[in-house]
Chain A
Amino acid sequence: MRKNFQKIRPYIWLLVFAVFILLSLVFDIQPGKTITTNFTNSFIEMITFIPFLFIIVGLFDVWVPKEKIEKHIGQGSGLKGILLVTLLAMLQAGPLYGAFPVAYMLYKKGASIRNIFIYLGAFSSLKIPMIGMEIGYLGIQFTLIRTIVSLPLFIGIGYLMEWYLKDKNFRVNVLE
């Protein structure tokens, strides 16, 4: 019994919702029907672009390997360094705390303080899968404007952090 419950646990809300839809259709409950229409519309919106977005992301993943970019980190100075960490950040996925181990790796490879924080900034707002979702849901104009406004700000934060942490023995720790 318990084992079976563990198996369906992830799907529990989907099941509850399916029953809810069925009941509202059978008993002609107006709120239920409105919610069902809401759900159907957002489901169609999602299913008509997200699978294709993920195929694009998957192709990016095999054709632009992160390892190759990582090899050059730390060597690039100035603009080239900024471009490299930004590009590396764009190819990642996942939540911000997933970026901290990569920040440690950048630190080990000799990336500058500035570039480590530019990496974190770019990681939070320029990841390709997320940009793809943003365009799909909020439109290309919104996404472009937000990106163009954000870019100089987090490069600025990188410079600020470097200025602030100079001579302060900055280090990134590894967690075991």
Chain B
Amino acid sequence: MSSNAVIYIAVCAVLLVVSFLFNRKKTLMGLKKGWFMFRNIMVPFLNILILVSVALYMIPPSIINKYLGADSGIIGLGIAAVVGSITLIPGFISYPIAAGLIRQGASYTVVATFMTTLMMVGVVTLPLEIKYFGRRVAITRNALNFIAAVIIGLIVGLVVGLVL
């Protein structure tokens, strides 16, 4: 068991006990809500774990390293930013993918850029966004966030390189 799991279980246990002492009904309601959220993501999540397990086997680390690794430079950054912007992957599913990429040799810059564009830039949802905010605002917001994502990726890669 990872140290992460230990921390999560500990925090969860403490919160549950405190919550239970304050209000039993509310605590049960919280447990129920958590369970439903967990149940809803379970199947898509298992599917993505299958996909990642197969991909880890099929795609050799050397390829990941070449195109998304520390020395991939502007190409890796570009791939991450563009793929992150145009794909519509639910956030919770993107984390095992990101972890798999890092394990196979992708750089933190690439992963941070990918995650940030995934979350903040939406080319597929742009038509919908235009309906809410109008063309000019939606396009400006996406463009600004795209630039921000690249900056975030570069700084995160730099800082993580220094810290980890």
Contacts and interface: CB of A to CB of B under 8 A. Distances in A.
Interface of A: 10-11, 13-14, 17, 31, 34-36, 38-39, 42-43, 45-46, 48-63, 93, 95-97, 100, 103-104, 117, 120-121, 124-125, 127, 129-130, 132-138, 141-142, 145-146, 149-150, 153-154, 156-157, 160-161, 164-165, 168, 170-173, 175
Which secondary structure dominates where chain A touches chain B?
helix
Interface residues on B, range: 35 or more
**Complex A-B, nearest 3 residue pairs according to Cβ-Cβ distance, in ascending order:** A58-B34, A48-B5, A38-B53
Given A56-B34, A149-B155, A96 B57 contact: no
B16 interface: yes
B156 A62 contact: no
A30 to B, nearest CB: 10
Given A39-B49, A58-B32, A95 B90 contact: yes
A170 B47 contact: no
Interface string B1-36: 110110011011001100100000011011111110
Given A34-B57, A121-B120, A145-B163, A165 B137 contact: yes
Nearest to B42: A50
B151 interface: yes
B15 A14 contact: no
A96 B27 CA distance: 29
A52 B8 contact: yes
Contact of B95 (A48, A133, A154): A133
9 contacts: A38-B52, A45-B2, A52-B9, A56-B34, A59-B16, A100-B128, A154-B120, A154-B148, A160-B144
